[in-house]
Amino acid sequence: MTESGYRVHILPGAVDAIGGVARVVVRAHRYAIVTDSNVGPLYAERARAAMTGLATEVFTIPAGEAHKTRQTWAAVTDQMLEAGFGRDSAVIALGGGVVCDLGGFVAATFMRGIPVVHVPTTLLAMLDAAIGGKTAVDTPAGKNLVGAFHQPSAVIIDPSVLSTLPADEMRAGLSEAIKHGVIADPAHFAAVAAFGAALRDHHQNPRATSAIVARSVEIKSAVVASDTRESGRRKILNFGHTIGHAVEHLSGYRVLHGEAVAIGMCLEAALAERIGVAVPGTADRVRAACEGAGLPTARPAGIEPQAIVALARGDKKGRAGRAQYALPTRIGEMAFGDRGWSAPVDDALVLETLR
Ligand SMILES: NC(=O)c1ccc[n+]([C@@H]2O[C@H](COP(=O)([O-])OP(=O)(O)OC[C@H]3O[C@@H](n4cnc5c(N)ncnc54)[C@H](O)[C@@H]3O)[C@@H](O)[C@H]2O)c1
Ligand SMILES: [Zn+2]
């Protein structure tokens, strides 16, 4: 049970149990499984079969961040209305972070809000996107600019579905687990680093994956519960993201979010050392963990420091035109607790670090 009051079920094979959970936590008359064009063919039929005795329809959106839009939101809500879904229905979001965010936003807005159960199918969605109640779509002006806070009624995590996830997507998710270790727990940091190195050498082990996901879920839920509207402590989850978001955007989204966050964490940890906030060696440890998992650690050639700094300043989390950074003091502990958990850093210092 998370502090926000919903249960997170983590169990290999859990997809086959979603009907039982949905029946207990939501008790809707009709269920809309929202999924995407990659996950649907793999798991939607199994998920629907697991909704025994419950009226369930599947709504499939095109896969990919490019479709996390108001247009897709409109298409899904229109299809639900046409199919006669009403106030007494619920959404089951079956997919990666795109489906969790979009399906969650559909649930937050349909008939002014219906329940959502998340069934995340990427590592990133399991330990990050499905947890915390943030939902959103992108607009031409940027990512996640239109959305709502809407807590799920339950989160059902089946680590065995990761067997079909492409290796680069698996690595990208691991980057957020490394982040959870840095911001809150040195033991988790070490476990994720070992897991990442093992993942690189051979195949995954659902038991080990469950353990990593479970601890990351605990960390993220605890941080979110301490700050449900992102006024303070939740900012520590932005570690690696001020620079990371800029890199992701400047690459034209060719660099995956998790890869960009790995680069961002390495550079922001170096920045923390440079300004005397972090103990020496912190950045090296972050870099070693990312490298071990096969994640990139340096600014991609062709993405200029000036462009990163300019974009970071314009980030929607920036205040008064200066980029805010959430920085570690050491592995497992974050700085600026007395200042709302983030602080502005002079562009000149960031530029030096980026070079
Ligand atoms: N709400 C939050 O708090 C939060 C947190 C982090 C990220 N996000 C959002 O999450 C999104 C990124 O999520 P993502 O990385 O999961 O991307 P994604 O949903 O696009 O999934 C990545 C790819 O993997 C495919 N896929 C998913 N599960 C699969 C499986 N089991 N087997 C085979 N293929 C599978 C998808 O179809 C897609 O092509 C971004 O939009 C980001 O903004 C939200
Ligand atoms: Zn992230």
Spacing, Cα 289 to ligand 1 middle (Å): 22
Q: What is the mean pLDDT of the chain?
A: 93
The two tokens of residue 8 are: 């997170």
Q: Is the CB of 138 under 6 A from ligand 1?
A: no
Ligand closest to Cα of 160 equals: 1
Those residues whose C-beta lies under 8 Å from the C-beta of residue 349, and which sit 6 or more positions away, are 271, 274, 275
User: pLDDT-based confidence at 5, cuts 50/70/90?
Assistant: confident
Residue 306's closest CA among 266, 260, 263, 246? 246
Of the pLDDT bands very low, low, confident and very high (cuts 50, 70, 90), residue 206 is: confident
Q: Are 48 and 82 in contact (CB under 8 A)?
A: no
pLDDT single digits (tens) 129-145: 999 999 999 999 888 99
Q: Minimum-distance ligand to the CA of 238?
A: 2
Q: What is the mean pLDDT of residues 232-242?
A: 94
Distance 121 CA to ligand 1 centre (A): 8
* pLDDT per residue as tens digits for the range 317-350: 555 567 899 999 999 999 999 888 999 999 999 9
Distance 82 CA to ligand 2 centre (A): 35
Residue 296 Cβ inside 6 Å of ligand 1? The answer reads no
Whose Cα sits closest to atom 12 in ligand 1?
97
Domains of the chain: 7-163 (3.40.50.1970), 167-354 (1.20.1090.10)
Residue 220: pLDDT over 80:
yes
pLDDT at 288: 98
Quote the ligand 2 centre to 52 CA distance (angstroms): 35
What residues act catalytically? 112, 134, 176, 220, 230, 234, 238, 241, 245, 257
82-91, 204-213, 322-331: lowest mean pLDDT where?
204-213
